[in-house]
Chain A
Amino acid sequence: MEKNEAIQQIESITEVIESGNKIFFSGKKLIGWGILLLLIPIIEYVTQGMTFGYQYLSNPAVNIIVHIFVYYVIFNLIIKIFCRSKTKKVFKSSNTVMKKALAVHTPIIYTMFATIVVLSLIGQGVLVFPVVFLFLGILFNLFGRFTNNTVLNISWSYIILGLVYLVLTTLSLNYLWLIFMIYLGVTYIIMGISIKNTER
């Protein structure tokens, strides 16, 4: 065997090993979620005069919990109807060690929802959005390390914006959540497209 041939063989092995270290992240589902996130401001506007609106739910804690529940149901229904893929999982990995490491996303998500509920109950609902951004930043930072740089860069932007949002909560800006929600929706779509482009 020639030296060049041996180098090529080593490169081929490295390439195979690297492919095993990637996670299969559903770009299509991320795009779907992004569109749904962008629809939230519209849903909020339309439902203002209905039971989902603020005037009927005077307790802010109940209000936030009802919102989370309603959106959770809507999102799951729409995802189930429109994003029928063979795998039910958002991501999967063939590397068993990575599977265990990535399983940390479950406690992160549960902790995020628990924090939202607790903040609402103690009357700190205004902090919900910044906290969500921080948690999403950590979550996507984890996924980004095994997918691509776009996801990783966006994850850092979530962390920075989460901290900025925390500062801005002192200013009581009514439409701040709208700007952040649009940013979230748009970045989800960008991440989805970028993952779809790198899919095999």
Chain B
Amino acid sequence: MDSLIQLDEVIHQPVRTRIIAYLINCTECDYTTLKKTLGLTDGHMSTHMKVLIAKEYVSMTKQFVKNKPKTTYKVTDLGKENFKNYLDTLKRIIEG
């Protein structure tokens, strides 16, 4: 029960866990690549990115590349720290 309380609720959601894990590994990633690689829908992306951005786990940059809009996401320091803590919690649960 203790471990449940300690788990980060923002990260402990299947889609958000995958998004944040992918972004941490790739440093930064654009909307289309992230959506395609993780097999997500526009709905998933919209809902979960809103949560991650609102909680300041992920930052978003919008720019125009060759006259086309490009949205890029990057994990913030807070996001990295909390993901690391989340992994540590999972390890503690596994180790019993």
Contact = CB atoms under 8 A, between A and B. Distances in A.
B54 interface: no
B18 interface: yes
A150 interface: no
Contact residues of B: prevailing secondary structure? helix
Band of interface residues on B: 20 to 34
A2 B18 CA distance: 19
A12 B18 contact: yes
A1 B7 contact: yes
A20 B73 CA distance: 14
A16 B38 contact: yes
B25 A6 contact: no
Interface residues of A, number: 19
Contact of B37 (A1, A7, A19): A19
Contacts of B30: 94
Contact of A94 (B7, B33, B39, B91): B33
A10 B33 contact: no
Contact of B96 (A3, A19, A21, A96): A3
Contacts of B18: 12-13, 16
A3 B93 contact: yes
Interface string A16-27: 110111000000
A3 B94 contact: yes
B25 A20 contact: yes
Nearest to B39: A200
